[in-house]
Amino acid sequence: MAQRQSFQIGTGLFILLGFAALAYLATQTTSVANFSQGDSYDLKARFTNVGQLKLRAPVKIAGVRIGSVANVVLEPDKLDALVTLSIDKRFSKIPDDSAAAVFTSGLLGDQYVAIQPGGSPDMFKNGDEVILTQSSMQLEELIGKYLVGSGDAAKNAGDKAAGADKDKPPAKP
């Protein structure tokens, strides 16, 4: 009987250990760990382009996370993106002339919403809209602008290259 009980206890401990490991993996090493949501309030912001902004992307002030993106939808009549930001209740003193911008962490990293505090004495309340917004910078657009801005030079360079190709005798087979 003692023998039987000892292996039953061992089995129980083993199963508990296994589930403890699973719980540890699931809660401490995944995005659930970032999800410790206390009370929060919602702000809305319109962007003409949100880029690759995803649900649950962080919302930051001065680089510190204060909340997350709760929803991204297209407004059918205005055709711009309406982003709902879920901000932690602890950070309830954000001036109502603050600006929101979609930034990228690093050159090619994930995108997040940065809020630059304004100077108004009034604070944002639940459901308010952030008026001043700045859309995400698209790398392709920037490159495009650069190419258009130096269009002539690029064109000349292209022509020169083409001309050079023409002038060149055909390569020997």
Judged by CB under 8 A, the chain residues 59 through 88 that form the site for another protein are none
Taking residues 107 to 146 in sequence order and writing x for each that binds another protein by CB under 8 A, - otherwise, the string is ---x------------------------------------
Q: Considering the rule CB under 8 A, would residue 55 count as an interface residue with another protein? A: no
Backbone angles phi, psi at 132, to 5 degrees: -85, 110
Distance CA 145, CA 30 (A): 39
Q: Which residue is it, tokens 């949100």?
A: 50
Q: Considering the rule CB under 8 A, would residue 32 count as an interface residue with another protein? A: yes
CB of 29 to another protein, least distance (A): 5
Distance CA 123, CA 96 (A): 5
Contact stretch for another protein (CB under 8 A) within 25-33, 73-81, 118-126, 134-142: 25-33
CA neighbor of 72 nearest in space, from 97, 51, 88: 51
Distance CA 61, CA 115 (A): 5
Residues lying near another protein in the complex (CB under 8 A) are found at 4, 7-8, 10-11, 13-15, 17-19, 21-22, 24-26, 28-34, 110
